[in-house]
Structure 1
Amino acid sequence: MTASLETDIARVAHQEKTLTFAHFDADVAWALGLRLRDMAAAGKLGVVIDVSLFSMPLFYAALEGTSPDNANWVRRKRNCVARFFRSSYATGLSLARDGRSLQDKFGLSDADFAAHGGSFPITVTGAGCIGAVTVSGLPQRQDHAMVVEALALHLGHDLTSLRLDV
């Protein structure tokens, strides 16, 4: 295992532990989704943004430059969070460390699951993981970083200790 892979796995675990909500509802989802949309628009980034509970979608936006493929990536990444209750990037990093795939380790189809960066668990203190916030359209590390930045800003955390080295 490379030092950077080990460092990333530890840093993403820290992100997941830190970026939790005291409460989460449709208004919080909308504010978070708008923050992500504003970030994407300011950077002229062609991304799809999805904020969903596992029971229903609460926010969805597809910016200029996206395609139906991005919506499918969102679904597959979100399914990964729903299955493992951790970020899709954390799952992908762990699989890379072990030299495994979702298919050979868990029997999960690539058609329905993607262990690629960009989907992050919505975790509520006392309730656990209830949904996911997902971005698709950039390279996976950047998708993940965008979500982490928005969550840190929304939750009032210093991004310095949460940022992955780029």
Structure 2
Amino acid sequence: MKLLLVYIVRFIMLSLIFCSCGSSGSNTQDISITGKWKLQQEYTNAGQDTPLKEFPLSSCDMQTTLEVLNTGKFIEKNYYEDSSIGGECGKDSQDTKGDWKKSNDGKYLFLYDKNNPLKLRGSLVSIENGNLVVNCVYNDRDFGPNTKLKFIYARVQ
């Protein structure tokens, strides 16, 4: 009986050690989307039911940043090649803004302000291989409904 009690105590102690070591915060679900991110890649499709293709980014496009704030807001500052200033990079006069939230199933959603230029309906956001991936859908005048965009951002800070 005494020997059985010793084995039970050892088993409980070993179980506690393994359980506490196994939950050291390595779970990727706990990675925060908050911070500053820089655009790395962009994908788009030519309308409903067509595959996504990589959209080539200029060095100016790649200066675009996305800041996801702890307050539940986000701000994207877009840059482009401006031919009126000798091909230098120009910044869009209007930032893309909105709110973000984490849903009950652990996914992140971006809700864009009503005055966003593309009239994006919303985005599903995730962390993949350390990068922030934003998938969105909008109605395009040329390509029709359900045109998709995918943006991949690398963490800056």
TM-score by length of 2: 0.25
Structure number with the higher helix fraction is: 1
TM-score by length of 1: 0.24
Structure number with the higher strand fraction is: 2
State which structure, 1 or 2, has the greater radius of gyration over its C-alpha atoms: 2
